[in-house]
Structure 1
Amino acid sequence: MSSSTILADDLDEKHLAVPRPDLVRTESNLEKAIDAEANINFSAPVEDAEDSDNSDDPGPAPNGGLKAWVQVVGSFFLFFNSWGTVNAFGVFQTYYENNPRWRETPSNISWIGSIQAFLLLFVGLASGPAYDNGYFRSLIIGGAILIPFGFMMTSLANEYWQTMLAQAFCIGIGNGLIFVPSVAILPQYFSTRKALANGLAASGSSFGGLIYPIVFRRMQQEVGFAWATRTLGFISFATVWFSVFVMKPRVMPKQRRQLTDFAAFKEIPYTLFCVSMIFGFIGLYGPLYYIGPYSIQNHITGENLGFYLLPIINAASIFGRIIPNAIADKIGPLNVLFPCALVAAILALAWIGIKNLGGIITFALIYGFFSGGFVSLPPVAIVTLTQDMSKIGTRMGQCFFLSAFGLLVGTPVSGAILKNTGSWIGVQLWSGAAILMTALLMLWARVYVAGWSPMKRV
Structure 2
Amino acid sequence: MDSSRSSQRPTTSQKPLGVSTETDIETGPREVRSSLGSQGGVVVSEDSLKLPKVDGGKDAWLFLVGCFVFEALVWGFPFSFGVFETYYTNNLPFSQHPSGIAAIGTCSSGGMYLIAPLTLYILEAWPSLRRLSSIFGLTIVVTALIASSFSTQVCHLILTFLYAPTMFYLDEWFINKKGLAFGIMWAGVGTSGVIFPFLLTTLLDAHGFATSLRVWAIAMLVLCLPLIHFVKPRLPTPAPPLLRQPISYAFLFTRTHVTLQLCNILEGLGFFLPAIYLPSYAQSLSLQPIAGTALLATLNIFSVLGSIGMGFLCDRLCVHTVIAISTAGATLSVFLLWGLATELPLLVVFAATYGFFAGGFSATWAGMMKEVQRVSTGARMGTLMGLFAAGRGVGAVLSGPVSEVLMRKDHLGGGGEDGRGARFGYGTRYGVLIVFTGVSAGFGLLCFGAKRRVV
TM-score (norm 2): 0.79
Give 2:206's aligned amino acid.
E
Would you say 1:390 and 2:378 are equivalent positions? yes
Deviations 1:139-182 (A, max 9, x none): 11122112223223333322223322xxxx2xx22xx332xx12
Measured at CA, do residues 189 and 424 of structure 1 come closer, stay the same or move farther in structure 2, by a change above 3 Å? closer
* Aligned twin of 1:220: 204
Q: Is the 8 A contact 1:61 1:190 kept in 2?
A: no
Looking at structure 1, the residues matched to 226 and 112 of structure 2 have their Cα atoms a distance apart, in angstroms, of 20
Who wins on radius of gyration, i.e. which is larger? Answer: 1
Count of matched residue pairs: 408
Give 2:354's aligned amino acid.
Y
Unaligned stretches of 5+ in structure 2? 1-6, 23-30, 412-428
* Aligned twin of 2:393: 404
Q: Is the 8 A contact 1:280 1:406 kept in 2?
A: yes
* Aligned twin of 1:7: none
Looking at structure 1, the residues matched to 386 and 304 of structure 2 have their Cα atoms a distance apart, in angstroms, of 24
Q: Give the superposition deviation at 1:231.
A: 2.6
Percent identity, aligned pairs only, is 22
Greater shift in the superposed pair: 189-198 or 357-366: 189-198
Greater shift in the superposed pair: 52-61 or 290-299: 52-61
- What is the CA RMSD across the aligned residues, in angstroms? 3.3
Measured at CA, do residues 307 and 53 of structure 1 come closer, stay the same or move farther in structure 2, by a change above 3 Å? closer
Q: Is the 8 A contact 1:294 1:424 kept in 2?
A: yes
Aligned positions of 1:88-237 closer than 5 A: 88-103=80-95, 108-132=100-124, 133=126, 134-164=128-158, 169=159, 172-173=160-161, 176-178=162-164, 181-190=165-174, 194=178, 197-237=181-221
* Aligned twin of 2:415: none
Q: Is the 8 A contact 1:269 1:449 kept in 2?
A: no
Q: Is the 8 A contact 2:52 2:59 kept in 1?
A: no
Q: Is the 8 A contact 1:340 1:370 kept in 2?
A: yes
Unaligned stretches of 5+ in structure 1? 1-21, 452-458
Looking at structure 2, the residues matched to 297 and 260 of structure 1 have their Cα atoms a distance apart, in angstroms, of 51
Would you say 1:425 and 2:431 are equivalent positions? yes
1:318 to 304, 311, 323: 304
Measured at CA, do residues 332 and 229 of structure 1 come closer, stay the same or move farther in structure 2, by a change above 3 Å? same
Looking at structure 1, the residues matched to 95 and 63 of structure 2 have their Cα atoms a distance apart, in angstroms, of 43
Looking at structure 2, the residues matched to 93 and 56 of structure 1 have their Cα atoms a distance apart, in angstroms, of 55
* Aligned twin of 1:378: 365
Q: Give the superposition deviation at 1:438.
A: 2.6
Greater shift in the superposed pair: 387-396 or 310-319: 387-396
* Aligned twin of 1:241: 225
Deviations 1:372-398 (A, max 9, x none): 221211231231243233314234433
Looking at structure 2, the residues matched to 99 and 258 of structure 1 have their Cα atoms a distance apart, in angstroms, of 51
Give 2:376's aligned amino acid.
D
* Aligned twin of 1:251: 236
Deviations 1:169-226 (A, max 9, x none): 2xx22xx332xx1222234445566555544433222222223222101222333333
TM-score (norm 1): 0.79
* Aligned twin of 1:437: 443
Would you say 1:367 and 2:354 are equivalent positions? yes
Greater shift in the superposed pair: 268-277 or 388-397: 388-397
Measured at CA, do residues 23 and 193 of structure 1 come closer, stay the same or move farther in structure 2, by a change above 3 Å? closer
Measured at CA, do residues 107 and 335 of structure 1 come closer, stay the same or move farther in structure 2, by a change above 3 Å? farther
Query: Counting helix residues as a fraction of each chain, which structure ranks higher?
Result: 1
Looking at structure 2, the residues matched to 289 and 27 of structure 1 have their Cα atoms a distance apart, in angstroms, of 46
Looking at structure 1, the residues matched to 245 and 296 of structure 2 have their Cα atoms a distance apart, in angstroms, of 37
Looking at structure 1, the residues matched to 111 and 394 of structure 2 have their Cα atoms a distance apart, in angstroms, of 10
Q: Is the 8 A contact 2:194 2:301 kept in 1?
A: yes
Looking at structure 2, the residues matched to 42 and 149 of structure 1 have their Cα atoms a distance apart, in angstroms, of 40
Deviations 1:352-383 (A, max 9, x none): 22111110000000100001221211231231
Greater shift in the superposed pair: 76-85 or 62-71: 62-71
Looking at structure 2, the residues matched to 318 and 80 of structure 1 have their Cα atoms a distance apart, in angstroms, of 11
Q: Give the superposition deviation at 1:26.
A: 6.5
